Structure 1
Amino acid sequence: MIDQPVTEEKAYAYITRKAAQTHQLLVFEHANEDAGVQVPKGTIEDGEIPREAVVREVREESGLTEFDSIRPLSTDVWNHHEKPKAYRRHFFHLVADETRDEWRHRVTGNGEDNGVIYRYFWVRPGSCSLARDMDDYIERISD
Structure 2
Amino acid sequence: MDQRLSFVTLAVRDLEATRAFYVDGLGWQAALEVPGDVLMIQLGQHLLLSLWAEGGFEAEVGEIRRGPGLVPITLAHNVPTRDEVDAVLATARAAGADPVSPAVEREWGGYTGYFGDPDGYRWEIAYNPGPIGQVVLP
Which of the five TM-score ranges fits, normalised by the shorter chain? under 0.3
The higher radius of gyration belongs to 2
TM-score, length-scaled by structure 2 = 0.27
Greater relative contact order, per chain length (Cα 8 Å cut-off, separation 6+): 1
Q: As a proportion of its length, which structure holds more strand?
A: 1
Q: As a proportion of its length, which structure holds more helix?
A: 2
TM-score, length-scaled by structure 1 = 0.26
